[in-house]
Amino acid sequence: MIITESNLRYKIRDAIKSAAQKKLQVRVNSLPLNVEVADTDGLRDIGLMNRRSLQRDSGMLFVFPDSDVRAFWMKNTHIPLSIAYLDESGVILNIEKMTPLNGDRIWSKGRAMYALEVNDGWFDINEISEGDIVRNLPKI
C-alpha cells in the first residue's frame, strides 16, 4: 500500500478527531487527570504529534492489548512531556522526561500495558513517583 501525503494528512486528522472523542478521567494516587485515550494502532502512532499545547491537568493515555517493554519517541511532538510507563495493574514502573522533536527512544523499565504522557513537570509538581498507582484504567 502506498501512502500519499494527502492520505497521511487524513489519517492524522481522523486520529486526532477520534482521540478527542475518547476521553476519560483517571486518578493518579488521589489526583484526577483528564486524558485522551489512544487505544488503537492509529491513535498510538499519532499520539500528541503536531500539537502545540496540552491543557493543564490533562494528558494522553496509551493503552496496549498486552504487557511488553515499550519505547516512545518525540518525533513531530512540540510539547515538552513527561511519560510514565504503567504495568497491567496501573503501578508506575518509571517516569521519564521527553524532549520535543527528539528521535531518541525512551524505554520502559519493565513490561508496560499503559503509557501516560503529561506536560513536563506534572509528575514532579504533584509528587508522583515510581510505585504510585493510576486508577480507572481501561482495557482493550
What are the domain boundaries of the chain? 5-135
Q: Which three cell numbers stand for residue 21?
A: 472523542
CATH 2.60.120.1140 fits 5-135, yes or no: yes
Q: Is the dihedral of CA 57, 19, 79, 95 positive or negative?
A: positive
pLDDT in tens, 109-128: 999 999 999 999 999 999 99
pTM metric for this prediction: 0.86
pLDDT in tens, 42-58: 999 999 999 999 999 99
User: Where is 131: in which H helix or E strand?
Assistant: none
* The residue to which cell 492489548 is assigned: 65
| Distance of alpha carbon 83 from alpha carbon 115, whole angstroms | 7
Beta-carbon contacts of residue 112 (< 8 Å; ≥ 6 apart): 64, 67, 68, 69, 70, 85, 86, 87, 93
Q: Is 8 left (phi over 0), alpha (psi -120 to 50) or beta?
A: alpha
pLDDT in tens, 63-87: 999 999 999 999 999 999 999 999 9
pLDDT for 12 equals 72
